[in-house]
Amino acid sequence: MNSRVALQLAGVDRHYGQGDRLLTILKGADFSLRSGEIVALVAPSGTGKSTLLHIAGLLEKPDGGDVIVNGHSCAQLGDEERTAIRRNEIGFVYQFHHLLPEFSALENIMMPQLIGGLPRSEARERAKQLLDYMRIGHRADHRPSELSGGEQQRVAIARAVANAPIVLLADEPTGNLDPETAGYVFEALQALVRQSGLAALIATHNLELAGRMDRKVTIEDGKVRELR
């Protein structure tokens, strides 16, 4: 496994105001994710899984500490710089696929590449390659409503890695799928991580899938802890 640290949370704090009191979600949280590694984030609802993913993905700013993406400290960056890193270095997959309904599977995967400035011909070719890799190349011209749940989620994964990010963050990516389809989607995701050297953090309630990842972590008392 590549020893390079792709993502690091260093002493991260996150608080929210709730009426007249302060609700602490993360308190001095530390976490490292290495290239080529797939890690399960397993914790009960309300413990801060989504908050941690949002902070790791630069969607929220921490109240203290730092987020380091591909060696770049992000704590003091402005919105434009954070957006640029998010666009180029981080891919997101959610429980619901969030595909654009009026576009085909191929066009959905092309979209982030075109926004990133890649010529249309190159974006199309890479989108085709990703669909083939996810074993749904034959569904390239179908719109999301014409795809099964598993196919939709594989398109969403392909879209998330279309710009070759360093880090992939996924929030319950198989949560809406039946067990057999969930296993198939996870296998495709795992193969993609191994082949590309991505660093992947996957929040999941599926303990069977979590057991197939390289490590498992949880959130306890505002800190990230390893699970054995």
- What's the whole-number average pLDDT of the chain? 88
Q: What is the mean pLDDT of residues 73-97?
A: 87
> Where is average pLDDT lowest: 105-114, 153-162, 188-197?
188-197
| Chain CA centroid to CA 51, Å | 13
Please return the burial class of 45, using the count of CB atoms within 10 Å of its CB with bins 0-12, 13-18 and 19+.
exposed
The class (CATH top level) of 5-226 is alpha beta
Q: Where are the domains of the chain?
A: 5-226
Q: Is the pLDDT assigned to residue 187 strictly greater than 90? A: no
Question: Which of 80-84, 92-96, 193-197 has the largest mean confidence?
Answer: 80-84
Q: What is the pLDDT of residues 14-32, one digit of tens each?
A: 998 877 888 889 999 999 9
| Chain CA centroid to CA 131, Å | 18
| Token couple for 154 | 């594989």
User: Model-level pTM?
Assistant: 0.88
Q: Is the pLDDT assigned to residue 163 strictly greater than 60? A: yes
Our CA angle for 182, 196, 151, nearest 5°, is 30
Q: Is the pLDDT assigned to residue 1 strictly greater than 60? A: no
Comparing CA positions, the residue from 140, 136, 213, 135 lying closest to residue 170 is 213
Q: Is the pLDDT assigned to residue 76 strictly greater than 50? A: yes
Give the contacts of 116 (CB within 8 A, at least 6 positions apart): 87, 88, 163
